[in-house]
Structure 1
Amino acid sequence: MSEAIEDMTAYTKMTDNIMYELCYSADTSLKKSRHIINRVLTRKLYTYIDEITFKNDKQIDKKSLTKIQKDLEEIHEDLVVDVVKLDYGLPMDNPIDAVQFYSKDDPNKAYKLSKNYVSRVLTEKNNELQIHVYCRNKDNANDLKDRLQTWCKDNGYKLKVGQHEPKQSSRGAVKFGGKRKFPKRGQYQETKRVKLLK
């Protein structure tokens, strides 16, 4: 399969059918591949544990990132670590700086857009680094989440989901741990009745 990219005739024959060919293959070297495909087809997907966020992505170099990934994988064999880098195609630069603009007054002359003309909605940050952590075995998910929280606390990292910050919900209710707190129906009606009488 890896050599098919060099041969265009073989490459064009590689359709989605290759997945089923792997499933029906008796080759012992493809046992792990068959197991993964079978999990996908039977919807036994990896469980999402949490996500590690960073205050300053620029401080995390490639060496540090490799060490973090290795340390996380050593917590338990069921942990799967996925490093996600989000940017606009230019990891460290503002993409607007690479765009050339033209005006109707002088259509043959290109110019760069100054910062004053760029929308204030756009943020100063152009990239983001995330580490997503998954669990292969659903039965170990809660235990591994506790271990991950301990590891992050010991190493000075923050978890996105594990922060348990109150979230503003609809209709003015504040959400704590999945529960919404609203004023009681009777209290609201009584207040409304008193106002009408006044």
Structure 2
Amino acid sequence: MSSTTIVMEIPRKVFNDPIHGTMELHPLLVKMIDTPQFQRLRYIKQLGGVYFVYPGASHNRFEHCIGVAHLAGELAKALKTRQPELNIDDRDVLCVQIAGLCHDLGHGPFSHSFETFIRKARPEINWKHEVASVRLFDYMVESNKLKEEMELYGLQLPDDVEFIKELITGEARVFTLEGRPDKPFLYEIVANKRNGIDVDKFDYLARDAYHLGIKSSFDHRRFINFARVCEVDGRNQICMRDKEVNNMYDLFHLRYSLHSRAYQHKVNNIIEIMITEAFLKADKHIQIEGSGGQMFTLSTAIDDMKAYTKLTDHVYETILNSSQPELADARRILRKIVNRNHYRFLVETRPTTSIEVRSTVVRGWEQELAEARDGQDDDQDFRLTAEDFKVDIVKMDYGMKNENPIDQVRFYRKDHLSNVCCFHSCQRSMSQPQCFSEQLIRIYCKRTDESSVNAARRHAVKWCRAKGWPILNNPQGNPQ
């Protein structure tokens, strides 16, 4: 069926959203929303452990994905209306909306914390939630017999299914542009690997800031209003009006601010570390039924989409409320979180230069911390060990490590729509940032009694001084 057969007067379903107001979604998207695979996202919090620090952060991946689908459609339709020469058709718009809707299908319990858990439980595989999203999308289409619905609304299979999966991953295959080789700019709407400016970021920043109670100065509506496709080095890409450069800086500053104040909050980080440790201890004792009645553990459920569909944040309560003796160690860790008896923050420091830190280095540092004793420890009737310390490496940036993402944005002028340029550093205002990344090292103590914590803090201070690293945050004062 050709794209011209799609009828635009298809009745839409209306969703009311605190961020975007009234959202009208295509009935095919509604069919996908009403599947077990998508409904699962109701039970996965958007910000994982941040909820234990910010009580308002109870929103979930379900509402975020609907918001991304809405914004993806808004941006695609704006470009279609503004630039008819791009030949964006209704199939393109619908595919982009589906990709926005399904881009986070693969997130596991506590979102990004689950990725950390998988890396530790199964270091031999390179697993990312985007890969799981593609696999779960395939499973959703097959198990709910959605192919007929997709064809009914004008999609051409299997080509459009492959295009949707390319849009979701945003990985290497995108650069071959198998789905829409003549429209490379469509790959920048949902997962923009060139500069990180995409509708996924627009929604989660606005939604997270709203639920965290943090003010946002970035206006995604202005981006949609001023976005324009221009030719850059022989390839069409989405560009921005030159007067919007400050709005773009606001986008990345908001991202950095949310990382600093919420995503990388010191208490949130240690809670997510504890959840990961509990999952590792519980891994082989959790049994989830998958295809053909086969049983899977927490870490192997990613191999079977029927089993993975059942895996949500509820696994936390499953462990916490269990009576199985095999889950005692995991249960003990989660009870510490519930009782606010989590690992204690000692100090925060910053290396004099940014360094690449591997897990073996971190374990060596924890051993050094245990050995960094002073005279005050002689009276203790215990000796701290490497197991008593937890070192956490925190990296915060504007989305492109040490680089300025604005350098990857091209701007056009009102009187020269096809003449694009970079925003050079010499044009940068003094109020705009000059540094785009930060690396912090936080040290925690797993013991929670005051005598142990005070001794561990002395170890940490001595260790930081021996490294020549400044002490940035010390609850007991700044001895630097």
Same fold (TM over 0.5): yes
Alpha-carbon distance, 1:143 to partner: 0.7
Structure 1 Cα separation of the partners of residues 340 and 478 of structure 2: 29
- Per-residue CA deviations over 1:86-113 (Å, capped at 9, x if unaligned) read 1122112111111121221222333211
CA RMSD of superposed structures (Å): 2.3
For residue 147 of structure 1, what is the aligned residue in structure 2? 459
Paired letter, 1:32? D
Q: Which runs of 5+ in 2 are unaligned?
A: 1-297, 371-384
- From the two aligned structures, give the one with the greater strand fraction: 1
- Name the CA distance, whole Å, in 2 between partners of 1:131 and 1:66: 15
- Correspondence for 2:331: 34
Amino acid at match of 1:38: R
Q: In 2, distance between residues paired with 1:111 and 1:33?
A: 55
CA distance in 1, matches of 2:356, 2:317: 40
Flag the 1:44–1:62 CA change in 2: closer, same or farther, 3 A: closer
Query: Is the Cα–Cα contact under 8 Å of residues 347 and 461 in structure 2 kept in the other structure?
Result: no
What is the count of residue pairs matched by the alignment?
160
Return 16-25 or 92-101, whichever deviates more: 16-25
Give the greater-gyration-radius structure (CA): 1
The alpha-carbon distance between structure 1 residues 19 and 96, as it changes in their structure 2 partners (threshold 3 A), is same
User: SS where residue 107 of structure 1 aligns?
Assistant: strand
Q: What TM-score do you get using the length of structure 2 for normalisation? A: 0.31
User: Which residue of structure 1 aligns with residue 405 of structure 2?
Assistant: 95
Q: Is contact 1:72-1:79 (8 Å) kept?
A: no
- Identical residues among aligned pairs (%): 31
Structure 1: state its 5+ residue gaps.
166-198
Aligned to 2:282: none
The answer to whether 1:5 aligns with 2:309 is no
- What is the Cα deviation at residue 40 of structure 1? 0.9
Structure 2 contact 471–478 (Cα < 8 Å) conserved: no
2:420 aligns to what SS in structure 1? Answer: coil
1:21 is paired with a residue of what secondary structure?
A: helix
Q: Tell me by how many angstroms 1:27 deviates.
A: 5.6
Of the candidates 389, 392, 405, which is equivalent to residue 79 of structure 1? Answer: 389
Instruction: Give the residue type in structure 2 aligned to 1:156.
Output: G
- Aligned partner of 2:429 in structure 1 is 119
Q: d(CA) in 1 for partners of 2:300 and 2:411?
A: 43
Q: Which has the higher contact order (CA 8 A, sep 6+)?
A: 1
Structure 2 counterpart of 1:72, which letter? W
TM-score, scaled to structure 1: 0.71
What secondary structure sits across from 2:352 in the alignment? coil
Partner of 1:61: 356
Q: Equivalents in 1 of 2:360, 2:438: separation in Å?
A: 17
